[in-house]
């Protein structure tokens, strides 16, 4: 006992265990030293421990502070009205974000390079709309500069000295592709240093978003909102290309990812094939709430982009409906549909032994599992006649009109067992 006291003795010769009890007594409001000395020390120690425990659990401390956030209101009387300006009248808005959607290989990039060629020379567009001359910047992640972009621009008669391309983005010692979620300040600074650049081509838009989840509205709006603000501030027109999502639906919802892409753009267009002419392309408005726009038609030939005279009145939704109808008419029957026809052909003269049906399926190279599924959907029943199993032709299915229809087995009525009534004794 004496040895233990000697090892843990401090603070005026008191054993450490007594000192600990003394501190505890003071913290609980008991007798001891005056307030504000050891009591505060003990409480501080306890707070530090709780903070460490919270840190280990991964929780963040809550705060009600507003920080440095402040809201500024201005009167609209101090805002000078401005007229809408266009790169291409009633089609491509100047100083805004514009998007052109389309399936791969339909001619989106060719169309956009045609716009850049007109801008580089100040040449009028196909509908006689005037075009102010300027320089352009190409940002592409799909097409090669030397084997695709430059030959097409030469074919379109562009002044290639006024069209530039983004070759490298240096991030430290690494070379990466443009990521607007990270590189927008540097991108803006570069455009400020080159004020003659009036149009920026992003092909495709999704490739410039980095790790941004294109299906989350909040993340897409955070990036495109800042991009739109930069375009308006510098007077630079952004024309982005992106792909259409698979499946059918309204044109305004056909873009890949969130609806925020369409919402953030001031003008949205779609390039589609003409349902009546495979070689003809339609340039159709999806969203253009700043002006009433009309569609145009063009063809991609050895001479570049050749435009048809006049405008087109068909809408993207009408084109999608026509494509859906054509795909339904021209679609080949599925394996199960073929199996159904095969079964009905075998049973058209009456029941057939199951063994013969299986052997015939093997000869005709039909998957037996598919045949079984088709049999069940047709309502074909099997029956044992004492010697072998046979398949019976499907029983007629009654319509509401009372006429029989082939393809269904009538369900047997379920009879509920009568429960004996309880008799009070």
Summarised one tens digit per residue, pLDDT across range 187-232 is 999 999 999 999 999 999 989 998 888 888 899 999 999 999 999 9
**Of the ranges 70-74, 201-205, 328-332, 391-395, which one carries the lowest mean pLDDT score?**
328-332
Confidence of residue 398 (pLDDT cuts 50, 70, 90): low
pLDDT of residue 248: 65
pLDDT of residue 407: 47
Domain ranges of the chain: 2-50, 86-328, 335-406
Architecture of domain 335-406: Orthogonal Bundle (1.10)
pLDDT of residue 286: 92
pLDDT of residue 168: 86
Token output for 20: 């600990």
pLDDT of residue 237: 96
Q: Which helix (H) or strand (E) holds 119?
A: helix 108-121
| Residue at token pair 């010769």 | 13
Q: How many helices (H) and strands (E) does the chain have?
A: 12, 20
Of the candidates 347, 337, 359, 338, the one whose C-alpha atom is nearest the C-alpha of residue 393 is 347
Q: What number does CATH give the domain 86-328?
A: 3.40.50.300
* Contact yes or no for 74/209 (Cβ under 8 A): no
Question: pLDDT by residue (tens digit) across 55-83?
Answer: 444 444 444 456 788 888 889 998 889 88
The CA-based dihedral angle spanning residues 299, 300, 303, 304, taken in that order and rounded to the nearest 10 degrees: 110
* DSSP-H helix ranges across 122-179: 150-155
CA–CA dist 251, 202 (Å, integer): 21
Residue 45 has pLDDT above 60, yes or no: no
Residue 234 has pLDDT above 50, yes or no: yes
Token output for 395: 């029983």
Confidence of residue 163 (pLDDT cuts 50, 70, 90): very high
Q: Model-level pTM greater than 0.85?
A: no
| Residue at token pair 């056909």 | 254
Confidence of residue 32 (pLDDT cuts 50, 70, 90): very low
pLDDT of residue 53: 45
| Residue at token pair 């058209």 | 348
**Of the ranges 79-83, 110-114, 154-158, which one carries the lowest mean pLDDT score?**
79-83
């Amino acid at each position: 006992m004496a040895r233990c006291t000697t090892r843990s003795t401090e603070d005026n010769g008191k054993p450490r265990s007594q000192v600990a009890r003394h501190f505890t007594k003071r913290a609980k409001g008991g007798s001891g030293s005056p307030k504000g000395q050891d009591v505060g020390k003990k409480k501080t120690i306890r707070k530090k421990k709780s903070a460490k425990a919270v840190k280990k659990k991964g929780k963040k401390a809550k705060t009600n502070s507003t920080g440095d956030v402040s809201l500024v209101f201005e009167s609209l009387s101090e805002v000078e009205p401005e007229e809408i300006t266009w790169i291409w009248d009633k089609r491509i808005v100047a100083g805004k974000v514009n998007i052109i959607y389309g399936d791969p290989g339909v001619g989106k990039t060719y169309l956009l390079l045609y716009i850049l060629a007109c801008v580089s020379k100040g040449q009028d567009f196909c509908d006689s709309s005037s075009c102010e001359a300027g320089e352009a910047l190409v940002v592409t992640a799909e097409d090669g500069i030397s084997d695709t972009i430059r030959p097409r621009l030469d074919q379109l008669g562009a002044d290639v000295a006024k069209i530039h391309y983004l070759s490298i983005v240096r991030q430290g010692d690494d070379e990466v592709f443009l990521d607007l979620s990270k590189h927008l300040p540097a991108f803006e600074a570069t455009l400020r240093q080159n004020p003659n650049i009036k149009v920026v081509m992003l092909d495709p838009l999704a490739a410039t978003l980095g790790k941004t989840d294109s299906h989350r509205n909040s993340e897409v709006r955070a990036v495109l909102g800042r991009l739109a603000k930069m375009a308006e501030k510098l007077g630079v027109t952004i024309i982005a290309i992106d792909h259409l999502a698979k499946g059918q639906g309204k044109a305004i919802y056909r873009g890949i990812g969130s609806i925020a892409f369409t919402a953030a753009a001031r003008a949205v267009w779609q390039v589609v094939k003409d349902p009546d002419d495979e070689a003809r392309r339609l340039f159709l408005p999806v969203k253009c709430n700043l002006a009433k726009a009309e569609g145009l038609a063009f063809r991609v030939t050895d001479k570049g982009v050749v435009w048809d005279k006049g405008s087109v009145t068909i809408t993207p939704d009408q084109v999608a409906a026509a494509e859906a109808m054509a795909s339904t008419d021209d679609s080949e029957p599925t394996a199960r549909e073929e199996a159904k026809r095969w079964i009905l052909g075998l049973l058209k003269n009456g029941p057939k032994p199951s063994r013969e049906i299986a052997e015939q399926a093997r000869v005709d190279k039909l998957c037996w599992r598919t045949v079984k599924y088709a049999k069940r959907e047709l309502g074909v029943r099997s029956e044992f006649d004492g010697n072998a199993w046979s398949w019976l032709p499907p029983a007629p299915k009654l319509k509401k009109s009372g006429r029989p229809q082939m393809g269904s087995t009538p369900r047997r009525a379920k009879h509920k067992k009568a429960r004996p009534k309880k008799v009070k004794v």
